[in-house]
Amino acid sequence: MRNAPRSASYWMFVALVVILCFASSATRSEAQTIGNDAVYNSNARCFSTTSCGFSGAFIDASASAQNQGTDVCATIYNILAGTPPNPPYPSAGAVIDARGISGSALKCAAGTTPWNNGATTVSPPSTILLPDGTILIPKSWILPANTRLIGEGDNPSAASGTTIQACNSNINSCSFSDGAMIQFGSSLARGISVEKVTLDGQGQSINGIVNSNSGSQTYVDRITLFQILGVGLLLESSASYSGPYTNITFDTGAYTGLPQTTCAQLYNVTGGTHGIHGLTCISQTADANSAVLLDSSNNSIVRRRRVRGFAFQCG
């Protein structure tokens, strides 16, 4: 007969402990800074409001986007710039996880990029995890030194993956204002890379990736250059010692290649590169003149599967 009261008291005690834990957890989570993941402070007392702090090493961009109602470009810019209520950005850099951003927030406002708000440019080091879906951009993304872009996949025909798409006024309610979709550095730089992304030029005579400034520790991997009617990958000038550039597919898609349409071009790279390895070039017709224009020494080029509608040419 005495077991029942003890059992009831026991469960009342457990319920009280659970309630206290939830209350303490809620208090600690409120102490987080917008966009930062929480980390446990081992030196703090249990249930103290200082038990959890924020980690500047890994930043959840979706929390900042939801709080401020910003698009993906403005959200990343505000994090890099430390625009309140975002905390100051770590000078040594951080991982910015933008994979939770979706829908209309993937269209960047006119004249903006993740590093420029139309008036001011920021350039701290970062690794940016891009979301699944199509990011519509109005101007060239000029990547600063020590910037890594990593997407969710580069197959434009797949149900998932990351596509960076250049605005086209004939298709979208915006236009693209520059000659290249992605540029490595505005001046001499190093440590820039792009991985697992499709670049979609939407049938325009623009370039895909241009590297004129970034040398060592710079590379490209698993990239599809889609519906780009200029040069897919252009390496020139101070791109010496960069690379390798691996697993690249160039495909004009539904569009007819133009005389200037080229998968890749190496021009006047005086020190050579670590090469283009694993290249597939596809044109829907045979009117595109060249698959690769090679006018630099000390480079290696390896075809991955096929070259259709193109011819190789050395200058």
How much of the chain, in percent, has pLDDT values that exceed 90? 64
Q: How far apart are CA 57 and CA 96, in angstroms?
A: 8
- CA torsion 199→202→206→209, rounded to 10°? 0
Q: Which CATH number is correct for 132-314, 2.160.20, 2.20.28, 3.30.70, 1.10.287?
A: 2.160.20
- The helix/strand/coil state of 151 is coil
Between the CA of residue 9 and those of 1, 18, 20, what are the distances in Å?
14, 14, 17
Longest dimension (CA), the chain: 98
Domain ranges of the chain: 132-314
- The helix/strand/coil state of 310 is coil
Residue 37 has pLDDT above 70, yes or no: no
Fill in the amino acid letter for 1. Answer: M
Q: How far apart are CA 250 and CA 167, in angstroms?
A: 19
User: How many H-runs (helices) and E-runs (strands) does the chain carry?
Assistant: 3, 19
- CA torsion 172→176→182→183, rounded to 10°? -170
Strand pairing partners for 97? Answer: 60, 129
| CA 187-185-267 angle, 5° bins | 85
Q: How far apart are CA 21 and CA 89, in angstroms?
A: 32
Q: How far apart are CA 160 and CA 295, in angstroms?
A: 37
pTM of the model: 0.82
Query: Which tens digit of pLDDT belongs to each residue from 213-224?
Result: 999 999 999 999
**25: which DSSP letter?**
H
Q: Write down the pLDDT at residue 104.
A: 96
> CA quadruple 59, 93, 225, 166: dihedral positive or negative?
positive
Residue 313 has pLDDT above 50, yes or no: no
Q: How confident is the model at residue 27 (pLDDT cuts 50, 70, 90)?
A: very low
Provide the 10 A C-beta neighbour count for residue 7: 10
Between the CA of residue 57 and those of 53, 93, 254, what are the distances in Å?
12, 7, 42
Query: Which tens digit of pLDDT belongs to each residue from 247-282?
Result: 999 999 989 888 889 999 999 898 889 999 999 998
Average pLDDT over residues 6-25: 45
Between the CA of residue 281 and those of 12, 65, 149, 224, 291, what are the distances in Å?
70, 38, 23, 10, 7
Query: Which tens digit of pLDDT belongs to each residue from 130-154?
Result: 999 999 999 999 999 999 999 999 9
